[in-house]
């Protein structure tokens, strides 16, 4: 991967990570404020939206970093056993007859 694309991917990963954390912190702050009686109780759908967006952004930042690191790093561990098993079947053990 060219260095320009790695730099853009790094920026996107950090943006997703920071936005995800800020969204989770904002959601927790709204719940804490409502618990202390500082403001009206937030709607349940709004709390779900904060947490879903925050967790989704954190998940996407991890996924983007994995893709940035090696491209096939998500697929390679799963395929390693398949390739090894395929190679073993090509060379069966010969027994003496």
Instruction: Give the pLDDT confidence of 10-52 residue by residue, as tens digits.
Output: 898 999 999 999 988 888 887 777 666 666 666 767 777 888 8
User: Does 44 fall in a domain?
Assistant: yes
User: Does 70 fall in a domain?
Assistant: yes
- Report the b/e string of 61-83 with b at 16+ CB within 10 A: beebbeebeeeeeeeeeeeeeee
Structural domain containing residue 46: 3-90
User: Does 39 fall in a domain?
Assistant: yes
Q: CA 79 to CA 57: how far, in whole Å?
A: 27
- Rounded to two decimals, the pTM is 0.59
User: Does 96 fall in a domain?
Assistant: no
Q: CA 55 to CA 24: how far, in whole Å?
A: 8
User: Does 97 fall in a domain?
Assistant: no
Q: CA 48 to CA 52: how far, in whole Å?
A: 6
Our count of domains for the chain comes to 1
User: Does 61 fall in a domain?
Assistant: yes
pLDDT at 17: 92
């Amino acid at each position: 991967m060219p260095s320009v694309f790695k730099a853009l991917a790094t920026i996107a990963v950090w943006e997703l990570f920071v936005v995800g954390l800020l969204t989770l912190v904002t959601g927790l702050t709204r719940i804490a404020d409502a618990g202390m009686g500082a403001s009206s109780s937030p709607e349940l759908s709004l709390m779900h939206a904060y947490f879903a967006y925050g967790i989704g952004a954190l998940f996407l930042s991890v996924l983007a970093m994995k893709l940035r690191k090696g491209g096939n790093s998500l697929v390679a561990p799963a395929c390693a056993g398949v390739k090894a098993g395929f190679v073993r079947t090509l060379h069966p053990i010969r027994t003496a007859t």
